[in-house]
Structure 1
Protein backbone atom coordinates (compact mmCIF):
# COMPACT_ATOMS: atom_id res chain seq x y z
CA UNK A 1 0.00 0.00 0.00
CA UNK A 2 2.63 2.55 1.04
CA UNK A 3 4.96 1.44 -1.80
CA UNK A 4 2.14 1.93 -4.30
CA UNK A 5 1.40 5.39 -2.92
CA UNK A 6 5.08 6.38 -3.08
CA UNK A 7 5.27 5.13 -6.68
CA UNK A 8 2.31 7.35 -7.58
CA UNK A 9 3.96 10.36 -5.94
CA UNK A 10 7.55 9.86 -7.07
CA UNK A 11 7.12 7.70 -10.17
CA UNK A 12 7.73 3.99 -10.58
CA UNK A 13 11.26 2.62 -10.37
CA UNK A 14 12.53 0.79 -13.44
CA UNK A 15 12.49 -3.00 -13.13
CA UNK A 16 16.23 -3.65 -13.00
CA UNK A 17 17.04 -7.32 -13.67
CA UNK A 18 19.33 -9.19 -11.29
CA UNK A 19 21.96 -10.88 -13.42
CA UNK A 20 21.24 -8.51 -16.29
CA UNK A 21 24.11 -7.08 -18.32
CA UNK A 22 23.74 -3.39 -19.11
CA UNK A 23 25.68 -0.73 -20.97
CA UNK A 24 26.13 2.78 -19.71
CA UNK A 25 27.63 5.79 -21.47
CA UNK A 26 30.93 7.12 -20.14
CA UNK A 27 31.95 10.77 -20.05
CA UNK A 28 34.19 10.31 -23.11
CA UNK A 29 31.25 9.00 -25.18
CA UNK A 30 32.28 5.35 -25.06
CA UNK A 31 30.21 2.67 -23.31
CA UNK A 32 31.00 0.43 -20.36
CA UNK A 33 29.46 -2.89 -19.33
CA UNK A 34 28.02 -3.66 -15.93
CA UNK A 35 26.07 -6.46 -14.29
CA UNK A 36 23.35 -6.05 -11.70
CA UNK A 37 24.15 -8.43 -8.86
CA UNK A 38 21.26 -7.62 -6.51
CA UNK A 39 18.49 -5.10 -6.07
CA UNK A 40 16.82 -4.07 -2.83
CA UNK A 41 14.53 -1.37 -1.53
CA UNK A 42 17.33 1.20 -1.28
CA UNK A 43 19.43 0.51 -4.32
CA UNK A 44 21.14 -1.56 -6.94
CA UNK A 45 24.32 -3.59 -6.42
CA UNK A 46 26.45 -3.62 -9.55
CA UNK A 47 29.69 -5.08 -10.85
CA UNK A 48 31.45 -2.73 -13.27
CA UNK A 49 33.79 -4.03 -15.93
CA UNK A 50 36.82 -2.49 -17.60
CA UNK A 51 35.67 -3.34 -21.12
CA UNK A 52 34.96 -0.27 -23.24
CA UNK A 53 32.82 -0.18 -26.37
CA UNK A 54 32.81 2.63 -28.96
CA UNK A 55 29.01 2.36 -29.31
CA UNK A 56 26.27 0.71 -27.26
CA UNK A 57 26.81 -3.06 -27.50
CA UNK A 58 23.93 -5.18 -28.74
CA UNK A 59 25.57 -8.31 -27.32
CA UNK A 60 28.25 -8.73 -24.64
CA UNK A 61 30.71 -11.63 -24.73
CA UNK A 62 30.66 -12.61 -21.05
CA UNK A 63 33.86 -14.65 -21.41
CA UNK A 64 35.70 -11.46 -22.42
CA UNK A 65 34.55 -9.34 -19.46
CA UNK A 66 37.28 -8.33 -17.03
CA UNK A 67 37.98 -5.93 -14.17
CA UNK A 68 41.27 -4.00 -14.18
CA UNK A 69 42.61 -2.84 -10.84
CA UNK A 70 44.39 0.38 -9.90
CA UNK A 71 47.78 -1.20 -10.63
CA UNK A 72 46.94 -2.37 -14.14
CA UNK A 73 48.11 -0.68 -17.32
CA UNK A 74 47.85 2.99 -18.19
CA UNK A 75 44.56 3.87 -19.76
CA UNK A 76 42.76 0.85 -18.31
CA UNK A 77 39.34 1.64 -16.95
CA UNK A 78 38.88 0.54 -13.36
CA UNK A 79 36.46 -2.31 -12.71
CA UNK A 80 34.74 -2.94 -9.41
CA UNK A 81 33.43 -6.24 -8.04
CA UNK A 82 30.66 -4.63 -5.99
CA UNK A 83 29.30 -1.12 -6.01
CA UNK A 84 26.14 -0.28 -4.02
CA UNK A 85 24.28 2.55 -5.78
CA UNK A 86 21.02 4.18 -4.66
CA UNK A 87 18.06 3.88 -7.00
CA UNK A 88 18.14 7.62 -7.64
CA UNK A 89 21.85 7.61 -8.52
CA UNK A 90 21.64 4.50 -10.67
CA UNK A 91 18.67 5.88 -12.61
CA UNK A 92 20.92 8.78 -13.61
CA UNK A 93 23.46 6.42 -15.17
CA UNK A 94 21.17 5.78 -18.13
CA UNK A 95 21.95 2.05 -18.09
CA UNK A 96 20.47 0.19 -21.05
CA UNK A 97 19.67 -3.51 -20.82
CA UNK A 98 21.71 -5.66 -23.22
CA UNK A 99 21.08 -9.27 -22.20
CA UNK A 100 20.25 -11.66 -19.39
CA UNK A 101 22.98 -13.44 -17.49
CA UNK A 102 23.35 -15.14 -14.13
CA UNK A 103 25.09 -14.17 -10.91
CA UNK A 104 27.67 -16.68 -9.69
CA UNK A 105 28.24 -17.18 -5.97
CA UNK A 106 31.77 -15.74 -6.09
CA UNK A 107 30.41 -12.55 -7.68
CA UNK A 108 28.49 -11.90 -4.45
CA UNK A 109 31.52 -11.91 -2.12
CA UNK A 110 31.76 -8.10 -2.06
CA UNK A 111 28.01 -7.79 -1.62
CA UNK A 112 28.07 -10.20 1.36
CA UNK A 113 30.91 -8.23 3.00
CA UNK A 114 28.99 -4.98 2.42
CA UNK A 115 25.82 -6.51 3.91
CA UNK A 116 27.61 -7.81 7.01
CA UNK A 117 29.19 -4.39 7.52
CA UNK A 118 25.76 -2.72 7.06
CA UNK A 119 27.21 -0.51 4.34
CA UNK A 120 25.61 2.44 2.64
CA UNK A 121 24.95 3.50 -0.95
CA UNK A 122 26.48 5.96 -3.36
Structure 2
Protein backbone atom coordinates (compact mmCIF):
# COMPACT_ATOMS: atom_id res chain seq x y z
CA UNK A 1 0.00 0.00 0.00
CA UNK A 2 2.92 2.35 0.61
CA UNK A 3 3.94 1.86 -3.02
CA UNK A 4 0.46 2.89 -4.19
CA UNK A 5 0.54 6.00 -1.94
CA UNK A 6 3.97 7.03 -3.26
CA UNK A 7 2.75 6.36 -6.81
CA UNK A 8 -0.20 8.64 -6.17
CA UNK A 9 2.12 11.42 -4.96
CA UNK A 10 4.28 10.99 -8.04
CA UNK A 11 1.31 11.02 -10.40
CA UNK A 12 1.57 7.39 -11.43
CA UNK A 13 -2.08 6.57 -10.76
CA UNK A 14 -5.47 8.10 -11.43
CA UNK A 15 -6.83 10.40 -14.10
CA UNK A 16 -4.61 12.18 -16.59
CA UNK A 17 -6.97 15.12 -17.06
CA UNK A 18 -6.62 17.97 -14.57
CA UNK A 19 -9.60 19.28 -12.65
CA UNK A 20 -11.00 22.49 -14.10
CA UNK A 21 -9.00 25.44 -12.77
CA UNK A 22 -12.08 27.02 -11.21
CA UNK A 23 -12.82 23.93 -9.12
CA UNK A 24 -9.68 24.31 -7.02
CA UNK A 25 -9.71 26.85 -4.24
CA UNK A 26 -6.79 28.81 -2.74
CA UNK A 27 -6.92 28.29 1.01
CA UNK A 28 -9.09 25.22 0.57
CA UNK A 29 -8.48 22.14 2.69
CA UNK A 30 -8.59 18.86 0.84
CA UNK A 31 -7.81 15.26 1.77
CA UNK A 32 -6.15 12.68 -0.43
CA UNK A 33 -5.94 8.94 0.08
CA UNK A 34 -3.22 8.00 2.57
CA UNK A 35 -0.87 5.06 2.77
CA UNK A 36 -3.78 2.70 3.34
CA UNK A 37 -5.70 4.02 0.33
CA UNK A 38 -9.12 2.79 1.47
CA UNK A 39 -9.02 3.71 5.17
CA UNK A 40 -6.80 6.75 5.60
CA UNK A 41 -6.79 10.33 4.39
CA UNK A 42 -4.02 12.93 4.47
CA UNK A 43 -4.98 16.62 4.71
CA UNK A 44 -3.52 19.20 2.39
CA UNK A 45 -4.10 22.87 1.76
CA UNK A 46 -3.86 24.73 -1.52
CA UNK A 47 -1.69 27.78 -0.90
CA UNK A 48 -1.47 29.20 -4.40
CA UNK A 49 -2.71 28.42 -7.92
CA UNK A 50 -1.26 29.27 -11.29
CA UNK A 51 -2.76 28.18 -14.58
CA UNK A 52 -0.71 24.97 -14.66
CA UNK A 53 0.61 24.73 -11.09
CA UNK A 54 -0.77 23.98 -7.64
CA UNK A 55 1.24 24.96 -4.55
CA UNK A 56 0.23 22.74 -1.65
CA UNK A 57 1.11 22.06 1.96
CA UNK A 58 0.75 18.45 3.02
CA UNK A 59 0.21 18.02 6.74
CA UNK A 60 1.38 15.29 9.10
CA UNK A 61 -2.04 14.22 10.27
CA UNK A 62 -3.81 11.04 9.10
CA UNK A 63 -7.58 10.72 9.29
CA UNK A 64 -8.90 7.16 9.62
CA UNK A 65 -12.13 8.11 7.85
CA UNK A 66 -13.16 10.85 5.46
CA UNK A 67 -13.45 14.02 7.59
CA UNK A 68 -16.41 16.37 7.30
CA UNK A 69 -14.32 19.25 8.66
CA UNK A 70 -10.70 19.98 9.58
CA UNK A 71 -9.56 21.75 12.73
CA UNK A 72 -6.48 23.66 11.56
CA UNK A 73 -5.19 23.90 15.12
CA UNK A 74 -4.85 20.11 15.38
CA UNK A 75 -2.66 19.68 12.29
CA UNK A 76 1.02 19.02 12.78
CA UNK A 77 3.49 21.24 10.95
CA UNK A 78 6.77 19.93 12.38
CA UNK A 79 8.23 16.58 13.30
CA UNK A 80 8.80 17.76 16.88
CA UNK A 81 5.20 16.83 17.67
CA UNK A 82 5.24 13.57 15.72
CA UNK A 83 3.19 10.68 17.03
CA UNK A 84 1.67 7.50 15.66
CA UNK A 85 -0.90 9.35 13.54
CA UNK A 86 1.49 11.53 11.53
CA UNK A 87 3.41 11.60 8.25
CA UNK A 88 6.46 13.74 7.37
CA UNK A 89 5.49 17.32 6.48
CA UNK A 90 6.04 18.25 2.86
CA UNK A 91 5.84 22.02 3.56
CA UNK A 92 5.05 23.78 0.30
CA UNK A 93 5.26 21.76 -2.90
CA UNK A 94 5.05 23.08 -6.45
CA UNK A 95 3.02 20.45 -8.31
CA UNK A 96 1.87 20.41 -11.95
CA UNK A 97 -1.92 20.58 -12.02
CA UNK A 98 -2.06 17.39 -14.09
CA UNK A 99 -0.15 15.54 -11.38
CA UNK A 100 -2.34 17.03 -8.66
CA UNK A 101 -5.37 15.61 -10.48
CA UNK A 102 -3.99 12.10 -9.94
CA UNK A 103 -3.96 12.61 -6.16
CA UNK A 104 -7.77 12.25 -6.05
CA UNK A 105 -8.00 15.10 -3.54
CA UNK A 106 -11.45 15.79 -2.08
CA UNK A 107 -12.50 19.23 -0.92
CA UNK A 108 -13.36 19.42 2.80
CA UNK A 109 -13.60 23.10 3.73
CA UNK A 110 -12.52 26.61 2.86
CA UNK A 111 -9.90 28.53 4.83
CA UNK A 112 -7.31 31.16 3.89
CA UNK A 113 -3.74 31.00 2.67
CA UNK A 114 -1.83 33.02 5.25
CA UNK A 115 1.21 35.20 4.40
CA UNK A 116 3.60 33.00 6.40
CA UNK A 117 2.45 29.95 4.42
CA UNK A 118 3.01 31.73 1.11
CA UNK A 119 6.69 32.38 1.89
CA UNK A 120 7.49 28.79 0.89
CA UNK A 121 5.62 29.24 -2.39
CA UNK A 122 7.60 32.35 -3.21
CA UNK A 123 10.82 30.41 -2.67
CA UNK A 124 9.80 28.01 -5.45
CA UNK A 125 8.97 30.89 -7.79
CA UNK A 126 11.92 33.21 -7.16
CA UNK A 127 14.52 30.44 -7.08
CA UNK A 128 12.98 28.84 -10.19
CA UNK A 129 13.07 25.41 -8.51
CA UNK A 130 11.71 22.52 -10.57
CA UNK A 131 8.33 20.96 -9.97
CA UNK A 132 7.93 18.23 -7.37
CA UNK A 133 9.15 15.57 -8.11
CA UNK A 134 11.34 17.25 -10.71
CA UNK A 135 9.00 16.92 -13.66
CA UNK A 136 7.64 19.60 -15.95
Query: Which structure: larger Rg?
Result: 1
Q: CA deviation at 1:80?
A: 2.0
Match of 1:82 in 2: 92
Secondary structure of the equivalent of 2:61? strand
Contact preservation (8 Å) 2:76, 2:82: no
> Are 2:68 and 1:22 aligned?
no
Higher strand share: 1
Unaligned runs of 5+ in 1: 1-9
- How many aligned positions are there? 112
CA distance in 1, matches of 2:63, 2:82: 18
Tell me: CA distance 1:24–1:12, structure 2 relative to 1, closer, same or farther (3 Å).
Answer: closer
Q: Deviations over 1:12-56 (max 9, x none)?
A: 625210000001101313101000000102210000100110011
Aligned Cα root-mean-square deviation (Å): 2.0
1:66 CA displacement: 1.4
Q: Structure 1 segments of 4 or more deviating over 3 A?
A: 71-76
**Structure 2 unaligned spans of 5+:** 1-16
Cα distance in 1 for residues equivalent to 2:55 and 2:46 = 6
What's the TM-score once normalised by structure 1's chain length?
0.82
**Distance 1:108-1:12 versus aligned 2 partners, 3 A rule:** closer
Normalised by the length of structure 2, the TM-score is: 0.74
* 1:68–1:77 contact (8 Å) kept in structure 2: no
**1:35 aligns to what SS in structure 2?**
strand
